[in-house]
A = this chain, B = another copy of it.
Amino acid sequence: MTTRTEESRSTGTRSAATRERILATAEALILQRGFTATSIDDILEQAAITKGGFFYHFNGKKELARALVERYLEQDNRIFTALFQQADALSEDPLHQLLIFLKLFADMMADMAVTHPGCLVASFTYESQQLDDEVRALIRQGILVWRKLISLRLEKILVKYPPRQPADVPTLADMFTSTVEGGILLSRIYNSNQPLVNQILQYRMHLRLVFGDL
């Protein structure tokens, strides 16, 4: 009955696979419905696991939330790192590297089959009261990582390209996060990835204008 998808043969990875199945299912459901609106029973049903099994892996819903945020930030980090590596391989110039990264990112969003499911960080931020301080700290940490990622590149760019207007690096870096989160919201409302893609490209144009590349 429990249609196991037969991943992870051999070693003791069975546990990890189940855990991952729970996390993936929970993330999808929470992005659709929100954290509070997603019951544990909902997750159990879709993940084809029993309550006992669930509580074997997680002590409760809050610990699930914690694990979800950690997983999400790690995933996100992997994606960004990969895209930056690609971009860095295509140019030596710090400005062009960042511009290429943004183009690659926009392309990736455009190529998504379905509408962007949303960002767990945003979803949790709007229900932060239901989560522990620890989870909130994790989220803030994640945002700061994104800020740092872009900031480092902006600093390098500043050295080479005098900005057309005085540029505040943290604000310009935060603008990336702001653009993505705002774009995702628009995409959810318009039910299409296009707005998200457009906003990312607009942010890209902003950087080009600020650093006199146009």
Interface residues, chain A, CB within 8 Å of chain B? 32-37, 118, 122-123, 125-130, 139-140, 143, 164-165, 168, 171-172, 174-175, 177-183, 185-186, 188-190, 195, 198-199, 202, 205-206, 209-210, 214
Q: Which of B34, B185, B199 contacts A36 (CB 8 A)?
A: B34
A166 nearest in chain B by CB position? B205
- B171:A177 contact, CB within 8 angstroms: no
Copy total for this chain? 2
Q: A186 and B34: CB pair below 8 A?
A: no
Chain A interface mostly:
helix
What are 8 pairs between A and B in contact, CB < 8 Å? A125-B189, A140-B189, A171-B195, A171-B199, A178-B199, A179-B182, A206-B209, A209-B210
A202 / chain B contacts, CB cutoff of 8 Å: 171-172, 175, 206
